[in-house]
Amino acid sequence: MTDDQGYGDIAAHGNPVIRTPNLDRLYRESVRLTEFHASPTCAPTRAALLTGRHEFHSGVTHTIDERERLARSATTLPDLLRRAGYTTGIFGKWHLGDEDAYQPGRRGFDRSFIHGAGGIGQTYPGSCGDVEGNRYVDPVIRSDGEFVATTGYCTDVFFDEALAWMRRCRKNETPFFCMITSNAPHAPLDCPAGSDGVYLDLLEKAGVGDPKQRAQIAKFYGMIENIDTNVGRLLAELERLGMAGDTLVVFTTDNGTANGSSVFNAGMRGAKGTVWRGGTRVPSFWRWKGSLPEGVDVPAVTAHLDVLPTLCEIAGVEVPPEVAAKIEGRSLVPLLRDATAEWPDRPLVTHQGRWKRGQAAASQFANVRVREGRWSLVNVANSPDGWELYDVAADPGEVRDVADGNPDMVRRLAEFYDRWWAGVQAELVNENLDGPAENPFKVAYRRQQESTPAKKPAVRKSAGKKRKGAGKEETPAESFPPPTFAEFLAARSRLLPEIARYSPYALVSADDPPVYLVYASPPDLGKPAKDPTHSANLGAKLKERLDAVGVDCELAYPGSKPRYIAVKDYLCDVLAPRD
């Protein structure tokens, strides 16, 4: 699940600018829920998805001010999956409480690798806050309660860790639920270096004339393109591990687009933070090779609260009756298997929330929608008489209010909403609470730094630089003495493109996953190295370091046949680190 990427921020959905080849592939291989809705903002969506209930039932009415905390009484999807023997992990954004009692490890997740608050580096009064000064590059991440320094762009880091965890699960033959929740492309718009360049030109050609706006959208799209690359890595790893047919892959996002609506919004009104379709309609791709059809669109109105009952049915979870009685979502399994399956209309409430402190009672009609089938009843006037009605089937852009011509429908849906609103009031458990004087992430990080030496980033920055007094470049292998070579291995996904400058051969091993030294453009193995002395020196040192840390390896020189595994055209810049 990505953050702030809307329905229109994917090439397969018609966006004429963005490049998302891997998401497009997933689109082609999936059942697509084309009218799938989330909440207008991030924490509410996460709460609904993980509980199968509207977020207000779990006390989540905002993204800050203690109102992002998932009520401790809530039963979560990972809680239930663990009952069926699944191990559970989350990698990326949590945003349902930064105090220890609300952290993922207390909410059903066996493995937790997250940043704080709603975004890396965010800080608000009270409990919602990340490590101070944290950034998208080389972020400090909380790993099962311990803060660790990482190296690289945040989305890459989250996928690296998730893939390593999945490999361990595969090795141990343990079924898993892996939730990868990138904070990208949420602001601040900080994309991997250089990834925005191509979009500056494409956006100008697309008619985005304001240079400042063009620069912002280019970074936004650059962040999404990086997500797309990582989705490709995920799909490739599932295939490499022989798990593509055993693994259900679900892709979605947490709300409508935050920055892309001016370029392409699939004809919808509104964006993130609104109750219009553009604020809540999001991608929903479900791929399960050999078990679900591919390339099928399901137009029925579905929602994030349907995810929990769906995954529970697929996983064979016996949901306790007292929990099942509270679940509002439906299992999507009938629709996933047959797009024409019976799916009765039902009223679904969307409320923006985000009212000011103490204003819950006065906010009943402040930015709310009731959706039932083709009908969408909307109130943005904050008045009991402010209802507008849209026939989405005939008017997907929600531009023609037909309330006057359909008074019975307006009355019925409005009465349903009045009952619903009255029913959730007792569950708004986070209203008017005073948070701690200081963010708990900051306190915990400071205490860890005071009690133990600060952890260094996983890779030194000197690789490839000249040694003082030396007349030649230092190879990456020479830059790492044996005691720290394990750190080099952990960061090889970042370093392999640099190493590829030096050597024309492959380094392979019996390790699982194997250690490869290969190229974005594989050389002709029958030709000698450009600088054979230099590259042989690199290879010998790499093997020496690998042997020192217990990796059984060999060097496959040009023209040689590897003993352990055939040399393949793996891309240097997408290889994942070892476990």
Judged against a pLDDT cut of 60, whether residue 549 lies above it is answered with no
| Residue 274 banded pLDDT, cuts 50, 70, 90 | very high
Q: Of 294, 317, 348, which marks where a domain is finished?
A: 348
Please report which confidence band the pLDDT of residue 541 belongs to, taking 50, 70 and 90 as the band edges.
low
Instruction: Output the pLDDT for position 448.
Output: 93
* One domain, residues 298 and 377: no
DSSP per-residue string spanning 417-431: HHHHHHHHGGG-TTT
User: Could you give phi then psi for residue 228, rounded to 5 degrees?
Assistant: -60, -45
Which helix (H) or strand (E) element contains residue 472?
A: none
Mean of the pLDDT values across residues 252-272? 98
Q: Is residue 158 part of a domain?
A: yes
> 344-348, 516-520, 552-556 — which one is most confidently predicted on average?
344-348
Q: What is the pLDDT of residue 245?
A: 97
Average pLDDT, the chain: 85
Note whether 38 and 60 are within 8 A (CB).
no
Count CA within 13 A, CB hemisphere, residue 76: 24
Question: What is the predicted pLDDT for the residue at 251?
Answer: 99
Count how many domains the chain has. Answer: 3
- Give yes or no: residues 403 and 327 share one domain: no
pLDDT at 117 over 50: yes
State yes or no: pLDDT of 508 exceeds 80. Answer: no
Residue 458: per-residue pLDDT: 35
Residue 330 domain-assigned (yes or no): yes
Instruction: Note whether 245 and 306 are same-domain residues.
Output: yes
- Reference 387, options 370, 399, 362; nearest CA is 370
| Domain annotation covers residue 516 | yes
Write out the residue range of the structural domain in which residue 375 sits.
Answer: 361-427
Evaluate whether 142 touches 441 at the Cβ level (below 8 Å): yes
Same domain, 297 and 331: yes
Same domain, 314 and 374: no
More confident residue, 193 or 310: 310
Q: What's residue 459's pLDDT?
A: 31
- Residue 512 pLDDT class (50, 70, 90 cuts): very low
**Is residue 152 domain-shared with residue 299, that is, in the same domain?**
yes
What pLDDT, on a 0 to 100 scale, did the predictor assign at position 472?
A: 36
Q: Does residue 513 surpass a pLDDT of 70?
A: no
Query: pLDDT tens digit string along 226-244?
Result: 999 999 999 999 999 999 9
Q: Is the pLDDT of residue 49 over 70?
A: yes
Is residue 472 a part of any domain in this protein? no
Tell me what pLDDT residue 126 has. Answer: 95
pLDDT at 571 over 70: no
Check whether residue 131 and residue 173 sit in a common domain. yes
Residues 157 and 252 placed together within one structural domain of the fold = yes
How much of the chain exceeds pLDDT 90, in percent? Answer: 77
* Structure-token pair, residue 2: 């990505």
The CATH number of whichever domain residue 96 belongs to comes to 3.40.720.10
- Whether 172 maps to a domain, the answer reads yes
Of 12, 50, 1, the residue nearest 297 (C-alpha): 12
- In angstroms, what CA-CA distances link 551 with 510, 511, 512, 543? 7, 6, 10, 9
**Res. 358 pLDDT band, cuts 50 70 90:** very high
**49/566: higher pLDDT:** 49
Residue 470 lies in a domain: no
Same domain, 321 and 423: no
Are both 343 and 365 inside the same structural domain? no
What is the structure's pLDDT at 552?
Answer: 58
Run of H or E residues at 546: helix 532-548
> For the ranges 37-51, 448-462, 525-539, which has the lowest average pLDDT?
525-539
Separation of alpha carbons 379 and 388, rounded Å: 6
What's the sign of the alpha-carbon dihedral 40, 44, 50, 56? negative
Q: What tens digit of pLDDT does each residue of 359-380 get?
A: 999 999 999 999 999 999 999 9
Phi, psi dihedrals of residue 107, rounded to the nearest 5°: -120, 20
* Domain finish residue from 383, 412, 427: 427
403: domain CATH number is 3.30.1120.10
- What is the pLDDT at residue 199? 97
Query: What pLDDT band is residue 550 in, cutting at 50, 70 and 90?
Result: low
Q: Is residue 19 part of a domain?
A: yes
- pLDDT given at position 451: 85
Q: Please report whether residue 390 resides in a domain.
A: yes
335 and 384 in a single domain? The answer is no
Tokens describing residue 72: 């401790």
pLDDT at 165 over 60: yes
Can you give the pLDDT at residue 222? Answer: 97
Cβ atoms of 228 and 197 closer than 8 Å: no
pTM of the entire structure? 0.80
* Residue 178 and residue 86 share a domain: yes
